[in-house]
Amino acid sequence: MDRRPTGQGPTEPEAVELDPSRPHRPVRKDEIVIADRGLYVESWLPERRSRRKPLYLLHGELGGSWLWERYLSYFAQRGWEGHALNLRAHFWSETADLASLDLESYVDDAQAGLEALGRPAVLVGHGMGGLLALKVAERVGAAGLVLISPALPRPIRPEPPPHVVRLVPAVFRAELIGWAGAAEHVRRQNPDLSELDVQRVQHMMGAESGLARRQMLEGMVVDRAMLEAIPTLVLGGGVDRLFPEPESKRLAAWLGASYQSFGAHSHYGLVVGETSHLPVADAIRSFLETHRL
């Protein structure tokens, strides 16, 4: 099997420095190519394989495996494998007509990536990726769920104004979610990020399927009964303008899940911020250790 990326993604991101506050543990990098779907999974592995459950990381809108670099480094240093999927037409996965992709095709991509791991994993989703994680867990199960500022499923999602859904274009970019323009302006809306953090996210963001966003806004049906036995942690950001914290709290209550709030964190600050990602990653690690995952 060809182990190289199959699509033409953006410039490869710079290496992320290892956490200087922790003892250095060697990390290996690998990749999984799912040729029949054109998918690329970026893997960061501890030098020695452990009994911990692998982490399977699902990005949201406009994202890719680049979103998870700090998490991949953090958890690999502490004994967890991390496998970050790139949905079709995102980052290193093969190009595709975004206008033809929808939320269901993304769920199929996410399920295919999980099945390629060949063993139970903890599903970690951010934004729209949280909804994908819920749907995949409903279909095939999961060792655990970690949902970071996730999109809400239909049973608890308020009906969006029709014009908001109607005005989403067939393909959209960063300007639709307020991430275009001067980095300093964006940083003021995301105060937990440095200007360099903002510039990196802006540089790495790609394009997105408008149909998938419209379906996300309308909500995807999830059967809560299929998730009851899965240990679940939901995390919300107090200054998240894209997926407001009250929605994360509502989802945790609906699922009967553990909930943790980060009052000073923005949507992307929960994951990519040079310093802001650390307390969130620490909370996730504590959840994993508590549940022996």
Q: What is the mean pLDDT of each run of 10 residues along the chain (293 residues)?
A: 37 41 73 96 92 97 97 96 97 93 97 96 98 98 98 94 92 96 94 96 96 96 97 98 97 98 98 97 98 97
Report CA 51 to chain centroid distance, whole Å: 23
pLDDT of residue 103: 97
Burial class (CB in 10 A: 0-12, 13-18, 19+), 251: buried
Bridge pairing between strands 232-237 and 144-148: parallel
Extract the tokens encoding 287: 């959840």
Tokens 């949507």 belong to 267
Question: What pLDDT was estimated at residue 13?
Answer: 37
pLDDT at residue 24 in the model: 60
3-state secondary structure 85-134: EECCCCCCCCCCCHHHCCHHHHHHHHHHHHHHHCCCCEEEEECHHHHHHH
Q: Give the pLDDT confidence score for residue 12 in this predicted structure.
A: 39
Strands of the sheet with 122-126, listed across from one edge: 27-34, 39-46, 82-86, 55-58, 122-126, 144-148, 232-237, 258-262
Give the per-residue pLDDT at 48: 84
Q: Looking only at Cα atoms, what is the longest distance across the chain?
A: 52
**Residue 292's pLDDT is what?**
97
Provide the pLDDT for residue 22: 52
The answer to whether 274 and 194 have CB atoms below 8 angstroms apart is yes
* β-bridge pairing 55-58 and 27-34: unpaired
* Domains, the chain, ordered by start: 27-290 (3.40.50.1820)
Cα 291 to Cα 10: distance, rounded to the nearest angstrom: 37
Q: Is 246 exposed, middle or buried (0-12, 13-18, 19+ CB in 10 A)?
A: exposed
DSSP code, position 34: E
pLDDT of residue 49: 81
